[in-house]
Amino acid sequence: MTAWLISLEGTEAGARLAILLALTSALAHACFGALQKGRHDPWLARGAMDAFMAVLAAPVALFLVPWPQDFEWLVMAGVIAIHLAYKIAMARAYSRAAYTVVYPVVRGVGPLATLAFAATFLAEEYAPLQWLGVALLSAAILALARLNFGTAPLPDRAVLRAGLIWAFLGGLLVAIYTTYDAWAIRLMPDPFTFLAWFFLLTSLDFPLMLGYRLVKARRMPEAAGALALRGLIGALIAFVSFGGVMLGTRLGKVAEVASLRETSTLFAAAIGWLVLGERSGPGKILLMGLIALGAILVQAG
């Protein structure tokens, strides 16, 4: 499978597969975010997901694929640090603001910064229409943040402001890890070796935090069985979400794959309304649609 995937690099078939991977990742990531924001504390939910990711990835990384060598360990250390910062930012954002507030901001800021980072650090070139799409994303995000802030109850606005700040930081970290991960997976001879070690090494931190919080609380969380099930489902979805987009960036341009993935905002809106019971008016729907349209323009260019 590795040889087949590598043979598609730089081909039309590879570009089409990158699009399919990005769209699949979009749906999966919207589900992943909803699981982290649902019934349980976001820190506990992410810790449970990471614990299952580590358990499922460990046999593959330790016994089925080669171990990282020399410089590759330094590359993986950078991966661990960036993703830890991202997970902390997301947990703090979800602790302070609604899912339909946090998610569009994070996913909208991501391609805006990713385009700049990919052009600067990976020497990728993008057409004017793609930059126009980024401008549309930026305008829609700022308008959405303002709308969400303006409609919040007055006592909650300080908390919401903090949530939006963490969401914006999370979006920047999405761009950083997307660009860095794309560079790293292209650096590795076998992309699946990178993915196996990625899922193992980036999934060890939050379970340790989860264990610390449980020991400190001296009790198990409420509905521990449901939390464990959420963790298992989240881990399986994460393999599709993160694995899909990283394989996509191996085959296609980073910003094109990342922006198309941000159609997840529409999936997220549907999940927020239908599953989490969150309400959004026509203004929010329009703005989230503009975020998705901007991402599509980046792809179309």
Tens of pLDDT, residues 18-61 = 989 988 988 887 777 666 565 667 778 888 889 999 999 999 99
What's the confidence (pLDDT) of residue 107? 74
Residue type, 121: F
- Ranking 8-22, 102-116, 139-153 by mean pLDDT, the lowest is 139-153
Q: What is the mean pLDDT of the chain?
A: 84
Burial of 41 (0-12, 13-18, 19+ CB in 10 A): middle
Give the three-state DSSP class for 10: coil
Question: Model confidence at 248, in pLDDT bands (50, 70, 90)?
Answer: very high
Q: What is the DSSP letter of 220?
A: P
Q: State how far the Cα of 272 lies from the Cα of 37, in Å rounded to an integer.
A: 10
Task: Output the CA angle 22-43-91, nearest 5 degrees.
Answer: 55
Helix ranges restricted to H, 38-156: 42-59, 71-96, 99-121, 128-151
- Ranking 81-85, 115-119, 192-196, 206-210 by mean pLDDT, the lowest is 206-210
Token pair 């085959």 in the structure block, residue: 251
Question: Model confidence at 66, in pLDDT bands (50, 70, 90)?
Answer: very high
Residue 275 has pLDDT above 50, yes or no: yes
Residue 274 has pLDDT above 90, yes or no: no
What's the confidence (pLDDT) of residue 56? 96
Residue 225 has pLDDT above 90, yes or no: no
